[in-house]
Amino acid sequence: MSAKKTEIEIYDTTLRDGAQSRGINFSLEDKVRITKRLDDFGVHFIEAGWPDSNPTDGEYFKRIKKHKIKNARIVAFGRTRAKGRTCAKDATIQALLRAEPDALTIFGKSWDLQAEQVLKVSLKENLKIISDTVKYLKKKGFFVLYDAEHFFDGYISNAGYAVDTIMAAADAGADRIVLCDTNGGSLPSFIAALVCEAVSKTGAVIGVHAHNDSELAVANTLAAVEAGATHVHGTINGYGERAGNANLCSIIPNLMLKMNFKCIPKKNLARLRELARFVCELANVPMPGNLPYVGDYAFTHKAGAHMDAMKKMAHSYEHIKPLLVGGSTGTVVSDVSGRSNVIELAGQLGIDITGDAHKRTVRAVLKELKELGYGGYRFEGAEGSFELLVRKHLGVRKEFFSLEGFRVVVDKRASEKIYSEATIRIEVPDGKEFMVAEGNGPVDALDNALKKALLRFYPSLGEMRLIDYKVRVLDERDGTAASVRVLITSTDGKGVWGTVGVSENVIQASWKALVDSIEYKLLKDGL
Amino acid sequence: MSAKKTEIEIYDTTLRDGAQSRGINFSLEDKVRITKRLDDFGVHFIEAGWPDSNPTDGEYFKRIKKHKIKNARIVAFGRTRAKGRTCAKDATIQALLRAEPDALTIFGKSWDLQAEQVLKVSLKENLKIISDTVKYLKKKGFFVLYDAEHFFDGYISNAGYAVDTIMAAADAGADRIVLCDTNGGSLPSFIAALVCEAVSKTGAVIGVHAHNDSELAVANTLAAVEAGATHVHGTINGYGERAGNANLCSIIPNLMLKMNFKCIPKKNLARLRELARFVCELANVPMPGNLPYVGDYAFTHKAGAHMDAMKKMAHSYEHIKPLLVGGSTGTVVSDVSGRSNVIELAGQLGIDITGDAHKRTVRAVLKELKELGYGGYRFEGAEGSFELLVRKHLGVRKEFFSLEGFRVVVDKRASEKIYSEATIRIEVPDGKEFMVAEGNGPVDALDNALKKALLRFYPSLGEMRLIDYKVRVLDERDGTAASVRVLITSTDGKGVWGTVGVSENVIQASWKALVDSIEYKLLKDGL
């Protein structure tokens, strides 16, 4: 082992290729929140979208400039120029420039048949398209990554030509050449051999972009790294079209803990599980319990013989210490089950509960988290609710109001507009308040009524706005009725925060999340 | 490539190691049914259980004898003899014999620390335990497989000793020596090197048993085969403790289609997907859509650019022909789709709109899809709504009822239970129906009221149940109010379908999805 570890660049494409997953559609706000988390975590590149493919992606590149991104380069994705058109006159290319990202990834054809049958250009013309596009973007001053689409299939079809395409990109000055196993059908040994050849022939920094169609995406990525690739593409939880992309949540710990490479800052690895769950919540899809490293069952033992051996020898059935990736042995329902996680997460929110003085508080928080976790609560994406919970146990949570009751009515007549109104009765500092409001649906009406009732005492609530609302039905367990978990995202124009509520009744769950959101805002304002 | 393909033995442990999955518990009947399916499919060994660990497994070995098993050997699983006891006096060993299986698999310790700290025997004594047990079972006339538990971790701790343990088993006459990556932490290159060494030192038939803790179980299995292993363990769908076992549903097609090995009869491979779903149904767990080869999304394309290329060149984005494993090319209809997606998806739903006669229909569907897409509709996971839309344009959609109006009331008093009720007024075939119902929240109440009102005319609605409900707030655009998209999943015990609704009001969006769901059910029932 060398004294200095090789660094492998992590290129996250959750927001672009991951968003190709069936059932996953990120909102603009989701994209911004995930970008900030990935940046905090320490990935090197964040591929955020295709500027001219849809309005959300276009808007994203404007919005993200208002945020401070500390480590990562924000990447826009697009294709090489269209045939018979110059880059200057290609609308897609121009949209890439206008997005003003930190880096650009463009994909081109490495497979001879694809160039001829899909692009309908000659092989020679295809090389010129690649070369022209890279040169043009480099001249415009961009950091350019070239995605060699179908490189491995292309090599089987016409090895010499596939290599010519990446030589064209390298000669034109591409900063990274990424070999894509677009169809996910290649085997590790083949990937390794071709990465070797690409490294030696181009002299460029070679990357790999793998898909999981053969359940080999992680292995193919590691094989590429062993063969000399130093740049890897993937997504959080392996999200992506068909069987998904290479899963960064497995690749990163494998590279760092088992192969001794450097990727993200070492101390951040313990936040892997938290990151995985955060993205999962915003994607609004269930988290498979058996996901390696980050799933609820990743370190959970069912066999009696295993549990017994674990007692006698702690690492009997664990391939790594779970804490290294933010997990814990036997984690089942609670997402933040260790003391250190609680302290760490509170620290991130600016609450110091380290040291002996806070031992009891940490224990109490942990106990409540476990109980809530069992009831279906998850706090990823709901930092607001988590902070309120910690503050409650620190004895510094305040009650701003208390509920006497509410009623929501939704009315619809044949073709007329639907109408939602809520009445609410709360106790406030100087007595009782009774208020009515309407809204786009019962939760919105309730939110409006509550804010209207409180505005006289807390004028800053006027700045608040609900920007996302997600509902998830939880599994039925042991004959009890199904619960729903509601995740609310709010903003006051300065910050964005998430809160959570769980109940058998969706309005009740929403109410809990709403109340947390308002309390959190008042707390932030120092009230 | 040699003229005669090497045969790789498939050893299925779904019923034993797979049953260690959290949430999976097979009944005796399940086990018998799965055994017969696996046998039909053509696996070589079926590890069915541990005869003295529980009554179900004990009973299984009696029951299975009443069935004709054509190809597979039925295997009982157990451990080497306990310390200080002869095999003849070891209850576990005797239970194995009494089960009278076709073969026996016994596991022993390869890791020096495990022998000393868990078994609490000397290293020498451990070798004698392994040797004694194998010899005893061979003398009793059994086909004996030896599972070298923790072989790879053991090798790191004490390489010479780990090899001594498998030599002991081989010298005692074990028919197969299986190297187990019990903790799932090893990398493919390490697995390959050790398999090589085991093959050359023991001269035995070497097998591999991998776990997926590093998301490398499939790759590790293939690496072992490349290094000379000819016997592989795994489970259907990768079921198993923690992150699961090696997934036979990926290993088998990889070996046969990509590495040119023989495993199961070639014609049976097309039943892979059916087998995967069968086991999934009996395990009573959801089937992840992104499972390679067998998942619903394994061959599904969302990106418009991909669909376009697929039309021009069929294998553009498919690593194998889906039919080889019993799958088919799927399509996700979203706002980025083209004509080809629409025709393809309709075809999958059994609606033929190919050919010139349907050109206008396809165009009309596409136009409405784009408009709906702009309004926030997405049809992935909402095939029910998509089918209704196509049928509408084909002029074969029927109106079963029409809405006059509804009212939903949600009531909450301080600490009392929240209460939701819905009244509904609809026109039905013989006049008007007015109904009231309650529920867990407004949508549930509305769903209950609507079904109650319709039940008299359409009794089959009584079979219907809402199994998932998702809400997503869509981005605000150009000052218009935010919309919400509601995705509902329903079942009638036979099928599962999804429907979608979009509106500024969440109740209205839910109502649309509910109505589609009911219409779809009635359509399916031929009403």
| Residue pLDDT, tens place only, B314-331 | 777 888 888 888 777 765
For residue B2, the model assigns a pLDDT of: 45
Helix (H, G, I), strand (E, B) or coil at A465: strand
For residue A371, the model assigns a pLDDT of: 81
The tokens describing B19, both together, are 């049953």
Question: Can B306 be counted among the known catalytic residues?
Answer: yes
8 Å CB contact of B241 and A504? no
Nearest by CB: A242 against B300, B404, B508: B300
Distance separating alpha carbons of residues B431 and B112, to the nearest angstrom: 81
For residue B4, the model assigns a pLDDT of: 72
Report which of A85, A145, A166, A144 is spatially closest to residue A119, judged by C-alpha positions.
A85
Per-residue pLDDT band at A474 (split at 50, 70, 90): confident
pLDDT per residue as tens digits for the range B418-471: 899 999 999 987 888 999 999 888 888 999 999 999 998 899 999 888 877 878
Q: Which of B417, B502, B505, B508 to mutate to test the interface with A (most CBs of A within 10 A)?
A: B505
The tokens describing B430, both together, are 């013989």
Is the pLDDT at A233 greater than 60? The verdict is: yes
Is the minimum CB–CB distance between B157 and chain A shorter than 8 Å? no
| Average pLDDT of the segment spanning A94-104 | 96
For residue A74, the model assigns a pLDDT of: 98
B96, B78 contact by CB (below 8 A): yes
Nearest by CB: B288 against A185, A288, A420: A288
- The string of DSSP letters for B22-49 reads TT----HHHHHHHHHHHHHHT-SEEEEE
The H or E element spanning position A46 is: strand A45-49
Beta bridge partners of A210: A181
Per-residue confidence in pLDDT tens, chain B, 527 aa: 445 789 999 999 999 999 888 778 787 888 998 999 999 999 999 999 988 777 778 889 999 999 999 999 999 999 999 999 999 999 999 999 999 999 999 999 999 999 999 999 999 999 999 999 999 999 999 999 999 999 999 999 999 999 999 999 999 999 999 999 999 999 999 999 999 999 999 999 999 999 999 999 999 999 999 999 999 999 999 999 999 999 999 999 999 999 999 999 999 999 998 899 888 877 867 778 899 999 888 988 766 666 677 777 777 788 888 888 877 776 555 544 567 778 877 887 788 888 888 888 888 888 888 788 777 787 766 888 989 999 999 888 778 888 899 999 999 987 778 899 999 999 987 888 999 999 888 888 999 999 999 998 899 999 888 877 878 777 544 334 578 888 888 888 777 788 999 988 888 999 999 999 999 999 888 87
Is the minimum CB–CB distance between A84 and chain B shorter than 8 Å? no
Nearest by CB: B22 against A29, A297, A503: A297
ipTM: 0.76
CB contacts under 8 A, A 289-348 vs B, are 289-293, 295, 297-303, 306, 308-309, 312-313, 315-320, 332
Q: How close is the nearest chain A Cα to the Cα of B414, in Å?
A: 4
B173, B144 contact by CB (below 8 A): yes
What is the DSSP code (8-state) at residue B58? H
Per-residue pLDDT band at A132 (split at 50, 70, 90): very high
The H or E element spanning position B418 is: none
CB contacts under 8 A, B 406-445 vs A, are 406-414, 418, 420, 440-444
Nearest by CB: A319 against B213, B406, B504: B213
For residue B337, the model assigns a pLDDT of: 58
Catalytic (active-site) positions of A: 306
In which residue are the tokens 């066999």 written? Answer: A303
For residue B481, the model assigns a pLDDT of: 57
- Greater confidence (A304 vs B144) lies with B144
Per annotation, catalytic residue among B231, B306, B319, B358: B306
Question: What long-range pairs does A351-354 form, CB within 8 A, spacing at least 24?
Answer: A351/A387, A351/A390, A351/A391, A351/A394, A353/A390, A353/A394
Q: What's the per-residue H, E or C state across B123-149?
A: HHHHHHHHHHHHHHHHHCCCEEEEEEE
Distance separating alpha carbons of residues B159 and B111, to the nearest angstrom: 9
pLDDT per residue as tens digits for the range A174-215: 999 999 999 999 999 999 999 999 999 999 999 999 999 999
Is the minimum CB–CB distance between A218 and chain B shorter than 8 Å? yes
What is the DSSP code (8-state) at residue B483? P
Per-residue pLDDT band at A1 (split at 50, 70, 90): very low
Range from A40-49, A405-414, B321-330 carrying the lowest mean pLDDT: B321-330
Is the minimum CB–CB distance between B182 and chain A shorter than 8 Å? yes
Mean pLDDT in chain A? 89
**∠ at Cα A501 (A498, A503), nearest 5°?**
160
**Helix A91-99 vs helix A55-63: crossing angle, to nearest 10:** 30
Q: Which domains does chain B have, with CATH numbers?
A: 9-283 (3.20.20.70), 299-332 (no CATH), 401-457 (3.30.160)
For residue A478, the model assigns a pLDDT of: 37
